[in-house]
């Protein structure tokens, strides 16, 4: 921020975001900053009354200043005033005409908002002109472009609310081309991922040639940050899967689970998933507003549907698995565990229930418990799979891989929920290594599995 830091010819690039009220100016800025504290977003007209400034950093360097401006509304009347003024004022350039007009602001109280926009426009390097493509194409836009272009700055139309409005978008593109604005950007808060952010900065690169390198630095930096966020999130999900798959608890009763067992195991899983959800939302700086825009089934930071709800299995395309448990635990997401494998999984694989000699040596403690008539309880395979699928969906939503807005369906139904090919091997390996539950292991096997799952999380749909 200090003048000293930018003394070398690398001051921040000043970007004014202009357009009608509710076109999504504040939302765009908030998305670029990934900061829910910025501005006030509302359907009520004219929420942003003053110009507000915020900075985009690459590390410690302030690269871009974003200026949020009030709604630009009464363009036709304003153009008339400017034309009247041009007849008397001794100005040669359009920008000078604007400056003169701005100096006389006190004489035009009706245009107080617009004058704020113009004042910022002449001071900026480029204008982002937000357009809600659902708005009808009216003559006033010609006037608006006419006025804004007097500032003598490049203008980049940004088309918003494009999801499901492709025809309107095409008409708007054509219209802007008629006004000589050929470069334009498609933006949608709902489908905003790193690629969209990159496209925006790339457009600015072409409009602001001398600042090409500066913007490239920003793009590279953001790419790096983005990749490390995804990596951190995927790692967090793997940690959840490990915690849950490795969890085991000695059953109080033989071949069944008591109510207490069921409640405590289910709560363990709920809490583990809840914490992961919180961590992922934090990693991507997601707010409830983002969540509702993306139609994510999360309310007050909690999943709307309980992980143990029978509907979950159906929604994620899993069939009710086989568990050996009866009574309170039937269908409760809990299974018995023998020989380092859940009984359901053992049955599924057609494996014999008796463990091989090597396994027996490794799982002596567990088998001893079985011999004493006790059994270990574990979270069943279906629940671990559901956790994987739900967290993968969350990750894709947070990083916008799902492009929810286009489909307009509740998130839970809009994707195929296939599990990776060797998925059950992963669960098996985790169950074989209960020691991984509490420590982030440096074990080679653990690392390898983690790399594999992180890779799946990022590439699978």
Ligand X SMILES: Nc1nc2c(ncn2[C@@H]2O[C@H](COP(=O)(O)OP(=O)(O)O)[C@@H](O)[C@H]2O)c(=O)[nH]1
Which residues bind to ligand X, rule: CB under 6 A? 19, 21-27, 41-43, 47-48, 71, 130, 160-161, 188-190, 293
Shortest Å, Cβ 107 to Mg ion? 27
Tokens 């008629």 belong to 178
Task: Identify which of residues 81 and 188 has a Cβ nearer to ligand X in the complex.
Answer: 188
Apex CA 194: angle with CA 45 and CA 44, to 5°? 5
Nearer to Mg ion, 45 or 320 (CB): 45
Q: How far is CA 393 from CA 269, 272, 330, 424, 451, in A?
A: 18, 17, 27, 19, 19
- Residue 295's binding partner, choosing from ligand X, Mg ion, none, with beta-carbon cut-off 5 to 8 A by kind? none
Taking CB within 5 to 8 Å according to partner kind, which of Mg ion, ligand X, none is near residue 23?
ligand X
Whose CA is closest to 75, among 42, 101, 113, 41? Answer: 113
- Measured from the CB atom, is 29 or 386 closer to ligand X? 29
- The whole-angstrom distance between residue 450's C-alpha and the CA centroid of its chain comes to 23
Closest approach of Mg ion to the CB of residue 66, in Å: 12
The least CB distance from residue 187 to Mg ion, in Å, is 15
- Distance (Å, whole) CA 427 – CA 241: 9
What Cα–Cα distance (Å) separates residue 301 from each residue in 134, 276, 290, 292, 318? 31, 11, 12, 11, 25
Residue among 42 and 253 whose Cβ is closer to ligand X: 42
Distance, C-alpha 22 to centroid of its chain: 21
65 binds Mg ion (CB under 5 A): no
Binding residues among 1-40 for Mg ion as defined by CB under 5 A: 25-26
In the complex with ligand X, the residue whose CB is nearer, 214 or 295, is: 295
Site map 71..110 versus Mg ion, x via CB under 5 A? ----------------------------------------
Of 289 and 330, nearer to ligand X (C-beta) is 289
Which of Mg ion, ligand X, none binds 241 (CB below 5-8 Å, type-dependent)?
none
- CB burial class (10 A; 0-12, 13-18, 19+) of residue 166? exposed
160 binds Mg ion (CB under 5 A): no
CB of 70: closest distance to ligand X in angstroms?
8
Residue 157 binding result from ligand X, Mg ion, none, given CB thresholds of 5 to 8 Å by partner type: none
Residue 48 touches Mg ion, criterion: CB under 5 A: yes
Q: What is the nearest approach in angstroms of ligand X to the Cβ of residue 8?
A: 34
Dihedral pair phi/psi, residue 322, rounded to 5°: -95, 130
> Least distance to ligand X from the beta carbon of 247, Å?
40
DSSP tally for the chain: helices H, then strands E: 18, 12
28 and 160 Cβ atoms separated by less than 8 Å: yes
CB 189 within 8 A of CB 25: no
Q: Does 429 interact with Mg ion (rule: CB under 5 A)? A: no
CB of 233 to ligand X, least distance (A): 23
CB closer to ligand X out of 26 and 256: 26
Q: How far is the CB of 54 from Mg ion (least distance, A)?
A: 12
Q: Which is nearer to ligand X, 188 or 381 (CB)?
A: 188
First-residue to last-residue Cα distance in the chain: 42
Distance CA 93, CA 151 (A): 9
Residue 458 near which of ligand X, Mg ion, none (CB within 5-8 Å, type-dependent): none
Contacts from 301-304 at CB under 8 Å and sequence distance 24+? Answer: 301/277, 302/274, 302/277, 303/273, 303/274, 303/277, 303/390
Footprint of Mg ion on this chain (CB under 5 A)? 25-26, 48
């Amino acid at each position: 921020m200090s003048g000293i830091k930018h003394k070398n010819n690398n001051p921040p690039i000043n970007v004014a975001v202009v357009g009608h009220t509710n076109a999504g100016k504040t939302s765009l800025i908030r998305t670029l900053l990934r900061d829910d504290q910025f501005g006030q977003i509302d359907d009520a007209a004219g929420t942003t009354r003053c110009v507000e400034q915020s900075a985009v950093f690459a590390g410690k360097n302030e690269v871009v200043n974003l200026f949020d401006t009030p709604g630009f509304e009464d363009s036709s009347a304003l153009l008339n005033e400017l034309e009247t003024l041009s007849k008397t004022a001794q100005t040669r350039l359009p920008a000078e005409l604007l400056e003169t007009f701005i100096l006389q602001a006190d004489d035009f109280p009706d245009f107080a908002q617009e004058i704020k926009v113009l004042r910022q426009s002449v001071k900026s390097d480029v204008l982002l002109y937000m357009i809600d493509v659902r708005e009808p194409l009216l003559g006033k836009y010609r006037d608006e472009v006419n006025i804004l272009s007097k500032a003598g700055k490049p203008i980049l139309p940004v088309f918003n609310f494009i999801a499901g409005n492709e025809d309107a978008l095409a008409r708007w593109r054509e219209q802007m081309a008629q006004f000589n604005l050929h470069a334009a950007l498609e933006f949608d808060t709902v489908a905003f991922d790193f690629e969209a952010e990159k496209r925006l900065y790339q457009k600015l690169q072409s409009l602001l040639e001398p600042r090409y390198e500066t913007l490239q630095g920003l793009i590279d930096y953001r790419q790096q940050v983005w990749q490390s966020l995804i990596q951190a999130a995927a790692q967090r999900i793997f940690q959840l899967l490990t915690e849950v798959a490795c969890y085991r608890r000695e059953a109080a009763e033989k071949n069944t689970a008591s109510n207490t067992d069921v409640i405590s195991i289910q709560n363990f899983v709920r809490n583990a998933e809840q914490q992961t959800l919180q961590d992922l939302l934090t990693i991507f700086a997601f707010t409830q507003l983002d969540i509702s825009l993306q139609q994510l089934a999360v309310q007050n930071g909690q999943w709307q549907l309980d992980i143990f709800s029978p509907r979950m299995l159906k929604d994620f395309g899993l069939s009710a698995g086989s568990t050996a448990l009866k009574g309170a635990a039937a269908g409760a997401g809990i299974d018995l565990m023998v020989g380092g494998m859940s009984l359901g999984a053992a049955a599924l694989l057609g494996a014999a229930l008796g463990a091989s000699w090597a396994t027996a040596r490794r799982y002596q403690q567990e088998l001893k418990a079985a011999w004493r008539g006790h059994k270990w309880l574990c979270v069943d395979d279906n629940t671990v799979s559901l956790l994987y699928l739900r967290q993968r969906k969350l990750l894709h939503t947070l990083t916008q891989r799902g492009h929810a807005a286009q489909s307009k369906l509740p998130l839970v139904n809009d994707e195929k929920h296939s599990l990776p090919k060797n998925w059950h091997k992963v669960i098996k390996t985790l169950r074989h290594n209960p020691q991984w539950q509490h420590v982030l292991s440096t074990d080679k096997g653990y690392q390898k599995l983690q790399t594999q799952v992180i890779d799946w999380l990022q590439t699978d749909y």
